[in-house]
Amino acid sequence: MKSIGILTAGGDSPGLNAAIRAVGKSLINSYGDQVIGFRDGFRGLMENRTVRLDETALSGILTLGGTLLGTSRDKPHKMPIGGRILDMSDAILQTYHKHHLDALVCLGGGGTQKNALLLARKGLNIITLPKTIDNDVPMTEVTFGFDTALGIATEAIDRLHSTAHSHHRIIIAEIMGHNAGWLALGAGIAGGANVVLIPEIPYDVKAVAEAIRHRSRAGKNFSILAVAEGAVSKEFAEVTTATHKAKFKAANKGQKAEIKLRIQDLEHERTEHAIQLAKTLEELTGLESRVTILGYLQRGGTPSAADRLLATRLGTACAKMIQENVFGVMAAIRGDQVVPVPLEEVVGKRKTIPLDHAWIETALSVGISLGT
């Protein structure tokens, strides 16, 4: 009998409980193993805060949103402790060995993959499962949580159509996706948005305004914009790129500190991007505008059937990998298969939308403006 630990880290995502259930039930029912859950991500692992995941604990959680284990964004090697940032990797190793664990399963996005690799390099048997509503984890076709969030964002755009039409307005729906536009583009196409702005394609605000005016001239008195939270204008993208280049070229610590503050200011500007875009479009088009920020609504609620199925497939495949002693990997979806991908091939990368992706071609073909 093996002893397996499991934790969830990073932001919450629909399907986490389904994945925990799948890993646990497979290990218990198929292999006779015992499963220990660690609360609140890597911090709970460091602090040895556990919950026994038996059949009773795993019952009835398939349809629940969130994670019964709780989560946090704490990093093993950079953890806030008593007002300081400390490397707590050794404390995590102690907890791992204290419970005589044969493996640790980590459910999370890009940051979790990086933290898991760090622990794997210290000798822990690690397997990860890719979750994030942004769908930006590389080396897997899709992450669980994405389908649910896509449905929520699409439904929001559906509902915004009626009020936009009634009041002759521009309505901007800000959708999650700081560095990748999968959610905004997918929901924009599915929800019939007129303009979609994504991080991968910096936009020209004048081109966006012209797309809206073109609709007005055609007798259509409203426009819906699906805007990823990380979308930026061409001018902003140029300034950001130049600022980051200047940081690498800075001659001394004073210059680097000054540039770092400028980068922080730029990031703050991005948080208010949708509001500023709405004001600019009002000035350029003469149409009233409103902004709806979906935010954490996209993470909440019951996971979709597709996410439950995906999480269950990944979880059961993970249990099998543990029995086969396949560690230091992420369980990834490739077609109709779940395959182990070495964490070294995952960490340090991000899955963004290729400019030749079929979704971009589809959007353009049905007349959606991408702001260019």
Instruction: Please tell me whether residues 89 and 217 are part of one structural domain.
Output: no
Instruction: Please tell me whether residues 262 and 329 are part of one structural domain.
Output: no
Q: Report pLDDT for 323.
A: 97
Instruction: State the catalytic residues.
Output: 134
Q: Report pLDDT for 255.
A: 65
Domain assignment present for residue 370? The answer is no
Q: Report pLDDT for 270.
A: 67
Domain assignment present for residue 330? The answer is yes
**90: domain CATH number?**
3.40.50.450
Q: How many CB atoms lie within 10 A of CB 246?
A: 15
Domain assignment present for residue 316? The answer is yes
249-266 residue pLDDT tens:
555 666 666 666 666 666
CA angle, residues 210, 212, 213, in degrees to nearest 5 = 65
Pairing of strands 170-175, 126-130: unpaired
Spell out, as residue ranges, where the chain has pLDDT lower than 50. Answer: none
Return the structure tokens found at 256: 């680097």
Q: Report pLDDT for 39.
A: 97
Q: Report pLDDT for 367.
A: 95
Interatomic CA distance for residues 371 and 235, integer angstroms? 13
Instruction: Please tell me whether residues 140 and 273 are part of one structural domain.
Output: no
DSSP codes of every residue in 63-121: T--S-TT-----BTTBEEETTEEE--HHHHHHHHHHTT-SEEEEEESHHHHHHHHHHHT
Maximum separation of any 2 CA atoms in the chain, in Å:
71
Overall number of domains in the chain: 2
Instruction: Please tell me whether residues 140 and 164 are part of one structural domain.
Output: no
Instruction: Please tell me whether residues 135 and 176 are part of one structural domain.
Output: no
Domain assignment present for residue 323? The answer is yes
Q: Report pLDDT for 128.
A: 98
pTM of the model: 0.91
Q: How far is CA 367 from CA 163, 186, 193, 214, in A?
A: 22, 15, 10, 11
Instruction: Please tell me whether residues 136 and 155 are part of one structural domain.
Output: no
Domain assignment present for residue 135? The answer is yes
Interatomic CA distance for residues 237 and 259, integer angstroms? 16
Instruction: Please tell me whether residues 109 and 162 are part of one structural domain.
Output: no
Residue 371: its H or E element: none
Domain assignment present for residue 173? The answer is yes
Spatial contact of 166 and 158, defined as CB atoms under 8 Å apart? no
Domain assignment present for residue 354? The answer is no
**230: domain CATH number?**
3.40.50.460
Of 214, 195, 354, 347, residue with least CA distance to 274: 195
Spatial contact of 92 and 7, defined as CB atoms under 8 Å apart? no
Instruction: Please tell me whether residues 81 and 199 are part of one structural domain.
Output: no
Interatomic CA distance for residues 200 and 351, integer angstroms? 11
Domain span at residue 120 reads 3-144+303-345
Q: Is the dihedral of CA 6, 9, 12, 15 positive or negative?
A: negative
Q: Which amino acid is at 368?
A: I
Instruction: Please tell me whether residues 118 and 228 are part of one structural domain.
Output: no
Instruction: Please tell me whether residues 242 and 331 are part of one structural domain.
Output: no
Instruction: Please tell me whether residues 205 and 252 are part of one structural domain.
Output: yes
Q: Report pLDDT for 72.
A: 93
- CA dihedral defined by 130, 102, 321, 306, rounded to 10 degrees? -40
Of 38, 298, 20, 6, residue with least CA distance to 152: 298
- Please give the distance of CA 18 from its chain centroid, rounded to a whole number: 17
Q: Report pLDDT for 151.
A: 96
SS3 215: helix
Q: Report pLDDT for 164.
A: 79
Instruction: Please tell me whether residues 47 and 121 are part of one structural domain.
Output: yes
- What is the Cα gyration radius of the chain? 23
Return the structure tokens found at 30: 């198929």
